[in-house]
Each structure stands twice: as structure tokens, then as C-alpha cells.
Chain A
Amino acid sequence: MAKTDVWQGTLALMVLKTLEAMGPQHGYGIARRIEQTSGDLLSLNYGTLYPALVRLEDEGSIASEWGVSDNNRKAKFYRLTRAGKRRVAKAADEWRSTTSIVARFLTPGPSKP
């Protein structure tokens, strides 16, 4: 199965969800986690992650600070803010309802006579 490109707009949700699950994490860690979670089905160009991080930080969903990674490397760590937590819940709900609506169109329903 060919790898799928990340859809526009879904990356932010993935980042938020990842941070919610893992706690504070650096950009590289987030990227790897998204790849792993998708079962390596997503081809994520790591570079595209950063604009998303910047946007999220600008809108106040996440905050960042420099810290030291597990193997003692200097790295910039991102964490969810309170506003970010609210947003994850809301965005996840929206996403679920959107996908379920789309799914109804895609699932072959009982055909009308």
C-alpha cells in the first residue's frame, strides 16, 4: 500500500493528540511518534511539521522551552497549554463527526428499490 501524504489541516490535530498522549516532546520526537502511530503508513516530511508547530504556538495551543533530551541532547520541547487541551477535545469531536459523515457516503448503504 502506497504511503499517504498527510492531509492538510489534519497535521495539527495529530500534533496535539501526540502531545496529549506523550506529554512534553521535541519536534523530532513528535514527528517520529506520528509516523509510528500511523503504522508507518504516513509519509511525513519532517520539515513540514515545523510550520504547524509555529502556528499552534502562535494561537496559544502549545508552548515551548529549551530542555535536554533523554540521550543528553539540547532540544526544544513543546507541551500542551490549557487552551490546547480544550482544543484537542473539541477538534477530536469535530473530526469524529466529520469522518463519520464522510464514512456514510462511502459505505455502500441499502440501495433503494
Chain B
Amino acid sequence: MAVDDLHRRAVPDARTVEAVSVRRQARRLIDLIAGNRRDRDFAAELDSHIQLHIDDNIRAGMTPDEARRRALIALGGIEQTREQHRDGVGFRAAADLGRDIRTTLRRLVRTPGFTTAAVLTLGIGIGVQTAVFSVVDGLLFSPSPFHDADRLVLVVRAKARGRWSPTIEKALVDTLVANTDIFEGVGTYRLMRDMKLAETGGEDVRPAQIAPGFFRFLGVAPAIGREFGAADLDSPVVIVSHAIWRRVLAADPSPLGRTITLEGRRFVVVGVMPQGLRFPVTSAAQVWLPASASTDFATTVARLSPRLSVEEAQRRLDVVSTHLQDETPREDGWGAILKTDYELRLPAGARALLLLLVGAVGVVVLIACANVATLFISRTISRTKELEVRAALGASSWRLTRHVLIEVLIVALLGGALALLLSASFLDVAGLILPPELGEPHLNLRVVVFTAAVVLTAAIGCAIGPVLRVRRYDFSRVISSSRPTGSSPREAHVHRRLVATQLGLTCVLLLGTALLTNSFIRLLSVEVGFEPRNLSLITIQLATDRYPTLTNTQDIFANALLHAGRVPGVIAVTAATSVPPQRDVFYNVDDDAEEDATPIQAAMATVEPNYFHVLQLPILAGRSFGPDDEPSGVIVVNEPLARHYWPGESAVGKRLRLQASDWRLIIGVVGDVKGNGFTSGADRLKAFIPFSERQSYAWTIAARTTGDRTGAVAAIRRSIDAMDPLAVRNVSTAEDAYGTLLGGRRLILGLMGVSTAAALLLALVGIYGLVSAFVASRQQELGIRVALGATTANIRRLVLGEALRPAILGITIGLATGLAASTALRRVLFEVSPYDTLTAVIVAVTLLMAVVLVAWMPARRAGAADPIRALRGE
């Protein structure tokens, strides 16, 4: 500043010489901001030079005005000298860059339409991609945090006929570990029912109990604090997830010793797990509590010995199991199964859906790329004349290319910023709307950078071509002629092909989303077959160490039902081994028609006699169980099972056999219920038998309530907790249980919908651009046509044809690709064929209509054009 002040004092009148003093001041400001002290210094030096010369001239007798004029002439102009000075200093390049950036910014501001379209396209494309990737990244792409995760397997209990149960007795695991060398170590955990966290106003958090040393066994360590030791077993201590630490403990750098309140009990925080750690992988727990490793009905994780395949380990395990069974026969055998996906890794179906989503978002980005590329191509074409003049005046092709690159970069920066804003605001609310299984996603900068790079490369690649083309022109001809600066046939061809590709891709997405939506609507509108509203489900599981025999369970079973029935607000209460949509067990069933008929598999539930009445499951024929029935002699079947064996006649009075045991008389036929085999859509064969003596280790109490259900359910729970505090495993409503089944689908569908909408929007922008460019470049030709007698309708048809030709090509290819690709959807569709013709037709017609709608505006404009003006050229 000192120099500036000096110069102002020294040459007060020199500045008035400068006609463009405002511009000079502006540049001085930019120089100042850019820290371009050398330029500033030189300005002062020049002023001093002129002043010295003026002094001399005045001494020689000139008037002050004449003196200044002569001084400036001798210098050869201030601006020219400064330019020369810059050349000499070698910051010409930097100054040019600055000028180019300023020019580009001005040009972008002058064309708000282009700028908005390009920035929005980039922002939406990258934003959607970033948001979706941030959500699925932790599930699909992050490397497992566990040590040698490939060797981790779940040891589950083998049941008859290839079925299995996730929990396994401690004694069996110990025996298997002792008798084989396939395990390097085992650890146990138990997912618990959600607990209320008082600190966030009663939010449900998902706890898991883990044995001391469990995390060490997995090969992970808390980011802060320690994991549980044997001394923690009976203390109220807790390890929290990174997200809970951030949200509930406000990311306190020293959280150890602070407490959180779960279900009204205070727990001392002893550890915080690292960010992104999910265990179990499929249903990420948020807090971990200590539990003894000797608990039964826990889930067992084992680490296989090195260099041992899961198949080989299973084979050796089977040998031991068979051997143990031979030595000490047990009713349910000694079998165990090693599972690699359940809870440890994402199930294949969920993986497929998430990958589908990633694919959809990838398509959106591709379309965004194509759009930005076309935008830049048409922009470069519309600037052809300007570029030609610049080239003729000596601008190097690098300089021209750099112009375009700077423009692309600025647009990309703005688009990237918008994308960050979009995805950040999405992720802000994501924690609240996403199911807890997805964890708490955080912004994935890796993805932002990657996507921006992809889009940029595409745009630059497309924009450089037209710029370099400028070099090949004969400039004298170009400048003198008033040739319209439209796109060359080859470029128009590329443009059309890009638009066709966009529409094809959009078509694929639209088809996929339409199929999923169709499937989802069918899922929502499906009649579950009973009344799931106001039906509370309380799942009970008893531990074998407290109830050594089945007879021991009789009291708590009967009392639980009795107390539940007396709770105010409970209209009716029943019990069953499973209530839809809970998982059923499967039994072999055969009828007495043929001696050696192959038995079929049917779902089986053991129920209280009033089960059908309480669930409002219609009895189609016969009756429910009565007090006089011998429990092992009667059976109720559902309509599909009755139809399977006795199509067209009444099943009541016929006989069925379970597991090849005694014959049972069919006393009733009930309606079909959609259970958790929901997605298959296949009719489920199901049979019901009565409890004998109300004995069971696991059952569900279903209570039909009126009014406020929470109070009633809490009362039922209290009465059961009073008998056995460990008995209740889960509390929900039938409606919520169905909702959970659909929740994941709803989310995926929602995200697919957003992607598809973005793709459609972008593709339509592309069509609009194509048609507008067509009209702009053919104005003269269209004018001639009108002059020669073409009607407005003729012109409109010509322009619409320009849009429809690539559209039809794109849609045709898109439909073919989409139909081929949707085979992948087969496993996630419900009652919808991936080759649904109606859906395909609707998609095609919708797209075509959208194209016509978008192309209509420029077509109308072209039809209404004044031929005289068009013919005149400009």
C-alpha cells in the first residue's frame, strides 16, 4: 500500500491520462489480491519514470500538458510498456490465466441458461451418486475390519432336513472344539431386543451381548478405551458405536466413565468402537454389553484354522458329529453347520438389490456425462466464429483449448460444490430415515472426487474436438463469409448418438423401476389373510439351563397366557409357535392315498385352539380344535394344502401324517396367510396342530388389544418378567413385522425412483438441447423451406422428426437391453415377471410422449419463424 500511496502523491495527474482508469483500478485490485506485488511495484516505477521525464520537459520550457504528452510518447504507452514488462518477467502465463478465468467467468454469467443447466446436471448426477455410494459403501465396498475375515464362520445348529437354527448350545460347541482341529478359536455374541436410550428421548438402540475378549477374537479394538474383561461380567458397563459416541456423547474426546441410560439403567462407557465398524454385519449393533461366554442360545462365531476351506472344515465337522451320534445318540443329533453369510456378510439377495441400486446410479452419472458433453459441444459450436477470429488473430490452439478447459473446470467446481451440498443435506437426514441396519453413513469424499473426475474427463474429451477443429479452417474465408456457424453433419451425428444413448439408458432404468414399483404395489395391496392390526406379538424363548425338560415350561406358559388375558385393554389372547410373518418350521407331510408317495414339505405351527379366532383367520370348512380332541390325533390345514391333496373335494375328514408318525384327522380348513415367504408369491402349504399340555421352549403370545397398546403390552411383559426376566426375546406388532419385511424394499425403491427421475430429467434436457441446436443451426434452411411453400406443420414435423429418430432408436435399444438386464431382477420381484410386456409398453410410450412434449417447444418456435429474417442470414 505504501507504494500506491507514494505513487498517488507523486503523479496526481498521470492517472487522468488513463482513459480506462476504472479498469486499471480493477486490475490493480486483482493484482493485489493475487499478491502480484511485482506488477504493482512496476506500476509505481513507471509513474516515477513519467514524472521524472515531465520534470525535465518542464525545465526545458514546455507547458505541463505538453510535457506529459511528450513523456508518454517517449515511453511508448503505459499499457504497452506494462505488457512488455510482464513478458520480460515471465509471469505472462499467470496473467493470461487470470485473464482467461475472468473472461470465462464473465461468459458464464452472460449465458445463465447454459451455466445453470451444466452445473445442475453435474450437481444432480454427482450428488445422487455420492449420496447412494455413501450409504452402500460401508456394506458393499469397504474392506472388512476384522482380522482374516475370510476365516470367520458362524457355527449354527443343524436341524432335521437341512434346516438350522442360528443359536447353538454351548456344550455342543465345546464338544466339537475339543474333538476337531478345524477351529482356531470361537467367540459368542447374542443380539438383544432394542433398548430405549434415555439420553436421546427414548430412541431405540440395538444392543448385542458379547463375551469378554470377543473383539480381540475378531481382530478389532475399540478406538477409545478397552473391551470387556472377565471382571466386567456383572457390572453395568457398555461399549458404544462411533455414531452413538458422536451423537449421544457429543464426540467427547474422553468419554470413558460417562454413562448412558438404557431401559432406565445407567451403564458406564468403557469403550468406543472405530467409525464404520459393523457387528453383526447385517444388523449392526449400536451398543455392546458384556455377557458370559457360557450362555446358551447365543450365536457362535468361529475362526477356522489357516489354509482350511469351509467345505473341508464342514466335512471334518460332519465326521465328528456322526461319530458322536454313534457313541452317544441324541434325539436332535450332534450336527452343526458352518455358515459364511448369515449375519457375518450381507445376504446375496440384499447384495443384489444394493448392486442394482449402484448400477442405477451409475447410469444416472453416464447420462449426466453425456448431457454435459453435449452442452459443451453445442456451446463450442455456437462460439465457432469467435474462436476462429481469435485463431486468426494469433491465439495458439493450446490457448483456445485452454479456454474450454477452464470453462469445464469452473463448471465442474460449481457442480461439485452443489453435489456436496445435496449429498450432505441428504446424509444429514439419512440417519433418521434409513433403517438402522444401514448404520449411519457419512459423506464419502472419495466418491465425490472419483465421480467428478469421470464427468470431467468426458466433458473435456467432448469439448476439445470442436476447439481443435478451429485450427483447420481457412480463416480469411471464414471471417469474410456470413456462413452460418452450425454444427457439421458429423458433429450432429455424434450429438444424435449421444442423445439416443441417453434415452436408451433412461429406458433401462425406467423399466427396472417400473417393474420394482409394480412388484411393490402388489406387495402392499396383498391381503395377508388375517387381521394384523392391533395385534401385539410377544416372543418368548426359554433357556434350557433353567428349564431342563419340556414339562418345566408348562407353568410359565400357562401363567403367561392367563396374566395376559387379564390385562386391561386386551380383548383376546392366544399363543402359537409362530405368528405370521414369523418364520415357520417345516415338516414332512403325507396323505394315506398311496403307500409309498413321496412326502411333501409343509410349514407347521403349533397353536392354541382360539388361534384362528384371535387372528381372525377365516375357517373355510370344519372347525378349530376343541377340548375333546386328542392333541396328537387332529390337524387343521390351510386351503392350499387341502387343494394340493384333495383338489375339488372337502379335506375335512381325510387323514394326514407328520414326519411319518401317527395319522391325524383333518378337522378344519383355514385360509391362506402370507408369511415371510412373501416375496416368493408361491402358495404356502401349511398345517396347524394343537399344543399338548402347553409345553414349549419357544412361543409367541399374540394379544388383540384395543386403545393404547403400549400400556397393555408393557403390563403383559411385566407379568412375564416377574416369572423369568430372560424369557421375553422380542416385542412387536404384526403390522410392524410386515412393515419391516417391506422396509428395505421401500428404501431401495425410493432411491431407485430418485435415480430414475434424475435420469429422465437429464435425458429430456439432452433431447431439448439436441432439438434446439438443430433449429438454431438450420434457421436458414428452414427459412428457405418456408419461402418455397413449406407449411408450419411441415416444419414442425421436420423438427419433431429430428427428436424422434434418435428417441426411437434409443428406446428400442433400451427396451431390448432392459428386458435382458431385468432377468437379474427375477429374485427380487413379487408376482411380476421380468418380461412384463405391459410394463415395457407403458415405459416406451411414456418416454416417447415425454420426448415429443420436450421437442414441441423448439418445434413450434421453428414453425413460427419469419422466413425473411431467416433468409437474410443473421
Contact = CB atoms under 8 A, between A and B. Distances in A.
Given A51-B88, A74-B6, 11 more contacts: A26-B48, A27-B45, A28-B49, A32-B56, A46-B53, A50-B81, A73-B52, A73-B55, A74-B10, A74-B48, A75-B45
Contacts of A58: 89-90
A45 B49 CA distance: 13
A76 interface: yes
A75 B48 contact: yes
Contact of A73 (B42, B48, B81, B84): B48
B88 A55 contact: yes
Given A26-B48, A73-B52, A47 B76 contact: yes
B451 interface: no
Nearest to A29: B52
Contacts of B42: 50
B76 A71 contact: no
A76 B75 CA distance: 16
Contacts of A76: 41, 44-45, 48
B85 A46 contact: no
Interface in B42-88: 42, 44-46, 48-49, 51-53, 55-56, 74-77, 80-81, 84-85, 87-88
Interface of A: 26-29, 32, 45-48, 50-52, 54-55, 58, 69, 71, 73-76
Interface in B818-845: none
Given A55-B88, A73-B10, A73-B55, A48 B76 contact: yes
A47 B48 contact: no
B87 A51 contact: yes
Contacts of A29: 52
A27 B6 contact: no
Contacts of A47: 75-77, 80-81, 84
What are the 3 A-B residue pairs with the smallest beta carbon separation, nearest first?
A51-B88, A47-B81, A47-B76
Contact of B49 (A27, A52, A54, A71): A27
A87 B347 CA distance: 80
B85 A54 contact: yes
A46 B75 contact: yes
**Quick one: which of B7, B53, B85, B88 has the most chain A CB within 10 A?**
B88
Contacts of A73: 10, 48, 51-52, 55
A61 B51 CA distance: 27
B84 A69 contact: no
Interface in B790-805: none
Given A27-B45, A73-B51, A46 B76 contact: yes
Interface of B: 6-7, 10, 41-42, 44-46, 48-49, 51-53, 55-56, 74-77, 80-81, 84-85, 87-90
Interface residue SS majority, chain B:
helix
A75 B76 contact: no
A26 B49 contact: yes
**Interface-centre pick from A26, A46, A51, A73 (highest chain B CB count, 10 A):** A46
Contact of B76 (A26, A45, A55, A69): A45
Contacts, number: 66
Contacts of A54: 85, 88-89
A85 to B, nearest CB: 22
Main SS at interface, chain A: helix
Contacts of A46: 49, 53, 74-76, 81
A71 B6 contact: no
Contacts of A71: 55
A52 B6 CA distance: 25
Nearest to B79: A47
Contacts of B74: 45-46
Contacts of A50: 42, 45-46, 81, 84-85, 88
Nearest to A27: B49
Nearest to A64: B45
A69 B48 CA distance: 10
Nearest to B7: A74
A28 B89 contact: no
Contacts of A75: 45, 48-49, 52
A46 B73 CA distance: 9
Nearest to A35: B74
B85 A51 contact: yes
B315 to A, nearest CB: 79
B60 to A, nearest CB: 12
Contacts of B51: 73
Nearest to B41: A76
Contacts of B85: 50-51, 54
A55 B10 CA distance: 27
A55 B84 CA distance: 12
A109 B696 CA distance: 131
Contacts of B89: 54, 58
Given A46-B75, A50-B42, A26 B52 contact: yes
A33 B74 CA distance: 14
B607 to A, nearest CB: 96
A28 B10 CA distance: 15
A74 B53 CA distance: 13
30 contacts: A26-B52, A27-B49, A28-B48, A28-B49, A28-B52, A29-B52, A32-B56, A46-B49, A46-B53, A46-B74, A46-B75, A46-B76, A46-B81, A47-B76, A47-B77, A47-B81, A47-B84, A48-B84, A50-B42, A50-B45, A50-B85, A54-B85, A54-B88, A54-B89, A55-B88, A58-B89, A73-B52, A73-B55, A74-B6, A74-B10
A71 to B, nearest CB: 6
A71 B54 CA distance: 12
A51 B75 CA distance: 13
Contacts of B6: 74
Contacts of A51: 84-85, 87-88
Nearest to A53: B88
Most B Cβ at <10 Å: residue of A32, A45, A52, A69: A45
A97 B703 CA distance: 116
A100 to B, nearest CB: 31
Contacts of B75: 45-47
A28 B77 contact: no
A106 to B, nearest CB: 31
A29 B6 CA distance: 20
A14 to B, nearest CB: 16
